[in-house]
Amino acid sequence: MSSPVRIQPDPSFVRELQAAGGESVKKCYQCATCSVACPLSPSENPYPRKEMVWAQWGLKDKLMNDIDVWLCHNCGTCSDLCPRGARPGDTLAAIRNMTYRKLVGPACIGEWMSSSKHLPKLIAIPAILFAVIWLITQGGFSIPEGDIRFGKLYPGDYTIDPLFMLIFGFMGWSFYKGVMNMWKSFKSLPETWQLGVEVEKPTVIQAIIDVVRDEIITHRKWNDCGKENTERFKGHWTLVFAFVALAIVTGVVAVSHWGSKVPGFNWLHMLGDTPMPLYSPVKLLAVAGMVLGLYGLTMLTRRRLNQDSQKSGSSFYDWYLLGVVWAVFVTGTGCFLLRLAGVAGLAYPMYYLHLISVFMLFAYLPWSKLGHLVYRTTALVYARVSGRLPLSRVEDKVFEI
């Protein structure tokens, strides 16, 4: 016997979702083409058909607890085949955007990150902050004399390092809360029943190793997606490794700087004193990261600009992230080149802009689309632990006797 289920539609959630990139969701008539079109969708309760009906009804709790929106890698095959132009791919992206917005507080950051009308506030916070530091260190908006060293304007020990350590602490704490909320919500979902051959489920540690090795490093799923994905794959993969390279550079600089203050380790500063000579391997790695990043950004932006607007669209979340990452790389490249050219009058203002963009990238990260770095990874780990795997194709077996 089926028991009646009382559902509570939330129309305001539907409107928010439509504003976050899922405006076509109401066109869906539940034919389930999308669930079949998706090569990553599992056989039991496949996505995205069920998400489409939940979204139409505004079933917020179901969507916010849904692991499947994170298993989607947004190749857009479902939207291409959708007979109604309901754009399931865009709807899942919108649900992820809603998760960035709602998963952790403070609620105002989530709200500000959801629409371009709040963008001036988001820019103003770091712009004022770094302008005040400039005023304090220089006693006015003047350009420091002599050779160009950004440390003259923003001394690392007293301004940049403590500030960004605070930002990273804040970001890390927010992510910790977000991941905990997420894991708890996944636990509330029914487990996958394993019939037939018993499959050993991996431990959490094993699952993390698998996800990093099998998904993040290789981006394997991108090639499993049903569509020609080369441009997107190349763009995303190079951008990820550009960030890895730049993270290593930052790490080396930080460790050598702070490490050298430990008695007996003052030789460490040899590694990462800035500005570095161009032949330094650390500098070469930074330049490689810069070039890779600009290439990746070009590929990803080109794809978004060229995509068929009848089939898929781009939301504010997409453009915010691309915009901020572009700003980080363009201003970073600008600082590097202007410093080498010796144009102090432009190099210091460029560094100011660079700090604003870096602040915007990291301080708001858990509420931006870049939050997928942590949340998708969490979902992929949980999916492995819980055994939620794509439908395997039937192999034709011919037995001859």
189 is an interface residue for another protein by CB under 8 A: no
Measured in whole angstroms, the distance separating CA 154 from the mean position of its chain's CA atoms is: 28
CA separation for the pair 91, 77 (Å, rounded): 13
Give whichever of 12 and 392 is closer to another protein, judged by the CB atom: 392
Give whichever of 71 and 207 is closer to another protein, judged by the CB atom: 71
401 is an interface residue for another protein by CB under 8 A: no
Give whichever of 38 and 211 is closer to another protein, judged by the CB atom: 38
CA separation for the pair 131, 352 (Å, rounded): 8
* Binding flags for another protein, 61-100, as an x/- string (CB under 8 A): --------------------x-xxx---------------
Residues 6+ apart with CB under 8 A from 76: 89, 227, 307, 311, 312
Contact 377, 179 (CB under 8 A): no
Contact 293, 240 (CB under 8 A): no
Give whichever of 50 and 339 is closer to another protein, judged by the CB atom: 50
* Binding flags for another protein, 12-31, as an x/- string (CB under 8 A): -----------------xxx
Give whichever of 25 and 104 is closer to another protein, judged by the CB atom: 25
CA separation for the pair 5, 120 (Å, rounded): 45
Going from the C-alpha of 61 to that of each of 4, 13, 44, 188, the distances in angstroms are 18, 10, 20, 11
Exactly one of 16, 17, 28, 35 binds another protein (CB under 8 A); that residue is 35
CA separation for the pair 3, 8 (Å, rounded): 16
37 is an interface residue for another protein by CB under 8 A: yes
Binding-site size for another protein (CB under 8 A) equals: 26
43 is an interface residue for another protein by CB under 8 A: yes
SS3 of 129-157: the string is HHHHHHHHHHCCCCCCCCCCCHHHHCCHH
Identify which range of 33-41, 179-187, 353-361, 375-383 contacts another protein by CB under 8 A.
33-41
1 is an interface residue for another protein by CB under 8 A: no
Identify which range of 95-103, 163-171, 195-203, 392-400 contacts another protein by CB under 8 A.
392-400
389 is an interface residue for another protein by CB under 8 A: no
CA separation for the pair 133, 155 (Å, rounded): 10
**Smallest gap, in angstroms, from Cβ of residue 396 to another protein?**
4
Write out the two tokens for 107: 């609620």
| Residues of this chain that bind another protein (CB under 8 A) | 29-37, 41-46, 49-50, 81, 83-85, 391, 393-394, 396, 398
